[in-house]
Chains A and B, each alone.
Chain A
Amino acid sequence: MKESDSIEALRREIREWLAASLPKDWRDRQRGDDIPGFLAMQREFFAELVAAGYATPHWPKEWPGGGKSLAEQIAIFEELARAGAPRMSLFFVSLYHAAMTLVECGTDAQRKKHLPAILNGEVWCQGFSEPGAGSDLAALRTRAVRKGDHYVVSGQKIWSTLGHFADQCLLLVRTDSSGPKQAGITFLLMDMKSKGVEVRPIKQITGDEEFAEIFLDEVEIPVENLVGVENEGWKVAQVTLSSERGLSLVELTERMALSLWQLVDTASAGGEGFSAIDIATRREIVDISGRIEALRAMLTTLMANRIAGREAIGDASILKLAYSRLSRDFTALGLRLGGKAALCDTHYTLGAGYETGNWMFDFMNSYQYNIAGGSNEVQRNIISERVLKMPREKMA
């Protein structure tokens, strides 16, 4: 069987599975004003995905659902997006960042303890960024001091996605300040129920609380929770950061493509409160649809290059800039077409793509893509310095 045939077969299989298994009412059950409902719905659908093997295609093949090629992983994400399935927001860090870090850098004991737990719904968050270390992540200052068989950790982490629901945390700490900032960083696994951990959700401009701050006051972390080698955690962190391989952008872009036509459909049909599609708007739709197609084509090329192991420097930065700007312009179009109704509709759905029609929420939310994973300004530095070979800024 040719590879493209097997991918087609996989796509058909997922479509059939989704037709039978996707709860029709999930959007009502993931409302922004009903957090317990959101958590329950996420857990329910996650358990179904795990059982069907669609949650773990990127895991090694000895795990259920594992051992799939990147092309198959892309197909799974695309099919989930096309079917309008809920995004697995609560488990994304667990499935990708935590699991892949443990697979590549963890000990056998760590893998045995956590990988089955992740399949059972253990939620992970990332404790990387700090108030003083955002784009300049290596400047992090949260201190860890080894005392016997424990590290004692104090400091503050920020922008931990869904950290307030997490059971475990991938934590970057400083164990040595004497050398260059990348040296002296250590990678630990932290139980969020440890004494001295305090989590405060961050209320965002959307009104939603998707991120959290984590305060650490003399938290004791057992030495067996060290990942890799002490003071060499920066290397482990790179594994964590590259673990999702662009799949979330594949998913989001696919969802955007679908939502554009849904938006146009609703507006053309004179949806309640919607602005009419005038000539200027039609022209803008032509532009936005071209940009979405360009982004999809760019993603297809990038993912193919990744599969072939020949990704070029800066490709991910180019993609991220393109996506973040398109996301803002697209949701701004939705907001304008949505008219007053969009201004009054303060309810929103969590873990959705762009299809819910909560345009103000999606527009406000689009600002996070300008910052998350390295601000757009940092991406521009990378493109100008590493792709166009312009002189580097003098770094402190």
Chain B
Amino acid sequence: MSELDSGIDTEELRDAARRLLSDKVDRRAPWEDRDGGRAEIESAMSDLGWYLLTIPEELGGLGQNFDSLAPIYEEAGRALLPLWPAGTMAAIDVLAADGSQEALTALQAIAEEGHRIATVILPADASLQSARISMVPGADLATHLLLIPESGDACHLLAADAAGISIEVVETWDRSRSFADVVLSDMPADAVRIALPESLALARAHGELALAWDCVGAAEQCLTETVDYMMGREQFGRSIASFQALKHRAADHKVALELARSLAGHASAAYAQKSGGWAEIATQARLMAAGAFRSIAEDSVQLHGGVGFTWEYDCHLFLKRALVNEMLDGAPETLKDRIAEALLERAMSSRN
């Protein structure tokens, strides 16, 4: 399973990602007003060829599927990566599935000219000529935007600095990553149209899976650091990690984490092979992983005692990332409502 078709080993990818990110990511930097070296990390990621992994081979890529990205997203979460590679990666899936000449040209530009894309989902009631889409992940660092209307209309791929587009960086509680509002006042005439009906489902599922793995990686790191802290913290003459009431909470978190990992793995395989229900199961994977991550991060604050409430300790880095991961592109209830119908219908039809 870990050996991909062209001989790329997912475990080697994971090791490389873990080494790179533990070396380059200074996760405290955004919280201490230091430069976190985002540009340097971005170029190191490009140098390692991450953006080539899923680009078709005939366009200079490595022709892999989502299996090669899952370990990268998981390691990104573990390291609290301050970047959003998933925007470009999701766009690659949409463009490759579309396969039109314009799409292939755009893919080539990602491979060769370093185009980096933010995927922007345009709400059904918004117009291409006048809209503000708030808190788009990583839009400030993107060279291009892929606008995907929820209405099902054609997508538009355009330069982020085109006339009629403005990108306004927003400050959020989660300093570990950047967000920007995308304001549309006019659609540039040279925007590339991508009329692939599946665009929205593909981009959304990719985004959900990226978030699910981010949650799994970050939650595991958070749990590990919390247990480590508990081992070293003594009260009443013993390590607090020896108290059964606390051990059992840690064990429950571990169970939730492993279930989330299992579902993320299953959902990733379904997405890679486009097997039955891939779109809904991707959302379920994110819901479960985000729920596990949030509850681990919340309890991490409590299990650290007083210091968990300080800026100096890292509990809040995880907690803020967890809350954002759970809310992006819709709160849990919204996501459940979005997939419930399709999920129920598919399940019933498979029964009959």
Contact = CB atoms under 8 A, between A and B. Distances in A.
A279 B334 CA distance: 11
7 contacts: A260-B347, A286-B284, A286-B340, A287-B287, A293-B281, A295-B259, A383-B250
B233 interface: no
Q: Label chain B's interface by main secondary structure.
A: helix
A388 interface: yes
Contact of A291 (B252, B258, B259): B259
B343 interface: yes
B265 A384 contact: no
Contacts of A318: 254-255, 258
Given A287-B287, A390-B231, A381 B244 contact: yes
B34 interface: no
Contact of A261 (B251, B336, B351): B351
Nearest to A393: B244
Interface in A291-350: 291, 293-298, 300-301, 318, 321-322
A291 B336 contact: no
A48 interface: no
A282 interface: yes
Contacts of B262: 294-295, 297-298, 301
Interface residues of A, number: 40
A294 B98 CA distance: 31
A297 B265 CA distance: 8
**Looking at chain A's contact residues, is the secondary structure mostly helix, strand, loop, or mixed?**
helix
A68 interface: no
Interface stretch (A37-45, A141-149, A262-270): A262-270
Nearest to A314: B254
B107 to A, nearest CB: 32
B302 interface: no
B274 interface: no
Interface in A269-290: 279, 282-283, 285-287, 289-290
Contacts of B167: none
A374 to B, nearest CB: 13
B129 interface: no
Contacts of B103: none
B248 A377 contact: yes
B333 A293 contact: no
Contacts of B339: 286
A383 B230 contact: no
Given A290-B284, A380-B252, A390-B250, A285 B340 contact: yes
Contacts of B172: none
Given A261-B348, A286-B340, A297-B265, A291 B288 contact: yes
Nearest to B244: A393
A299 B351 CA distance: 22
Contacts of A389: 227
A265 B266 contact: no
- Per CB-CB distance, the 6 closest pairs between chain A and chain B, nearest first, are A384-B247, A290-B284, A294-B263, A297-B266, A383-B251, A380-B251
A264 B343 CA distance: 11
Nearest to A315: B258
B239 interface: yes
Interface in B216-247: 223, 227, 230-231, 238-239, 241-242, 244, 247
